[in-house]
Structure 1
């Protein structure tokens, strides 16, 4: 019996040693607080400047080349190209901030006749603003407010049929600035 008891105690001690390896280790460790400072988020804002936007007719063969156009009294005819120029003020703050400016609200069909197209161009001549020609993505330099001239071009197809005395509602035009990076 003594041999069996000694064997049982030895087996129990060996099992306890093996199980002890699965639990916690009695190795030294330490921790310390690090003062990493504060990280603050940037911003991306857009408003129009106080000056009203201006409509001009830029159709080929029109004299003078950029004739004033009053949408309340002047009428478009097939082949006309009209431009609307407006400055927007973009507030940009953030490292590597990039955005895409687009027009929304004029989607054709329900708002625009199919013969009318709308395009948006951004003048990136303000220092600190650049636009990729292929993607249209705008990149901003340092945190600042940038005055960015935009041009909305409305083209009335010269092959338009059945569109006489049709109102082209441009009141739904909205400029949208979306962060892409």
Structure 2
């Protein structure tokens, strides 16, 4: 008899639990939903492409062939490269920099000045950061100081083969 009462009690508990969990009891709730249409997020663009071949000129603005030109103290050579800059995006801003121009390329650093790039758009000087797409002319100046004395740096070379322009996005202001 005890087994019969135990079985009946266990069955009653199981049926009660099933009714409560299965929605057949008092656990009713209301809910509703509505679709939203937030749209699509589209990424901007940042790109830098050189346009044509860069040009070397001497202090008188005459073109020179850098592969055969021999600098002497007091010479100032200028490298000019046109760059197509793409900056698309709200709050987009980026800096142009030159790499590979360090003074450890063969000459005594005390005898050489290599400038940071000077940037112009349509002949007007612009400063970093850039905020719109544009065709930018970057100019780097290499100056073999006239104060160089004796035979310092005679027959040495300065390798510009690793020069590159980079466009780096900066955080919005």
Under a length normalisation based on structure 1, what TM-score does the superposition of the two structures give?
Answer: 0.67
Using the TM superposition, give the Cα deviation of residue 112 of structure 1 relative to its aligned residue in structure 2, in angstroms.
5.1
> Are 1:139 and 2:141 matched, yes or no?
no
Cα distance 1:82–1:68, how it changes in 2: closer, same or farther (>3 A)? same
CA deviations over 1:64-119 (Å, ceiling 9, x no partner): x3122221222111111111111111122111211100111222225554022222
Q: What is the rounded CA distance, in whole Å, between the counterparts of 2:154 and 2:75 in structure 1?
A: 14
Q: What is the rounded CA distance, in whole Å, between the counterparts of 2:125 and 2:87 in structure 1?
A: 13
Partner of 1:23: none
> Are 1:122 and 2:114 matched, yes or no?
no
Partner of 1:32: 34
Conservation of the 8 A alpha-carbon contact between 2:106 and 2:157: no
- 2:93 paired residue among 75, 95, 98: 98
Pair member with larger Rg: 2
Q: What is the rounded CA distance, in whole Å, between the counterparts of 1:110 and 1:149 in structure 2?
A: 24
Conservation of the 8 A alpha-carbon contact between 1:130 and 1:139: no
> 4+ runs of 1 displaced by more than 6 Å?
none
> Are 1:157 and 2:154 matched, yes or no?
no
Partner of 2:44: 42
CA deviations over 1:121-178 (Å, ceiling 9, x no partner): 111238xx9834xxx21121xxx5x321111111111222411001110111111110
> Are 1:176 and 2:166 matched, yes or no?
yes
Structure 1 residue matching 2:156: 3-state secondary structure: coil
Consecutive unaligned residues in structure 2, runs of 5 or more: 1-29
Structure 1 residue matching 2:131: 3-state secondary structure: strand
> Are 1:72 and 2:67 matched, yes or no?
yes
Q: How many residues align?
A: 140
Cα distance 1:113–1:34, how it changes in 2: closer, same or farther (>3 A)? farther
Under a length normalisation based on structure 2, what TM-score does the superposition of the two structures give?
Answer: 0.70
Conservation of the 8 A alpha-carbon contact between 1:130 and 1:138: no
Conservation of the 8 A alpha-carbon contact between 2:121 and 2:135: no
Q: Please list, as runs of the form range in 1=range in 2, the aligned pairs for 1:1-16 lying within 5 A after superposition.
A: none
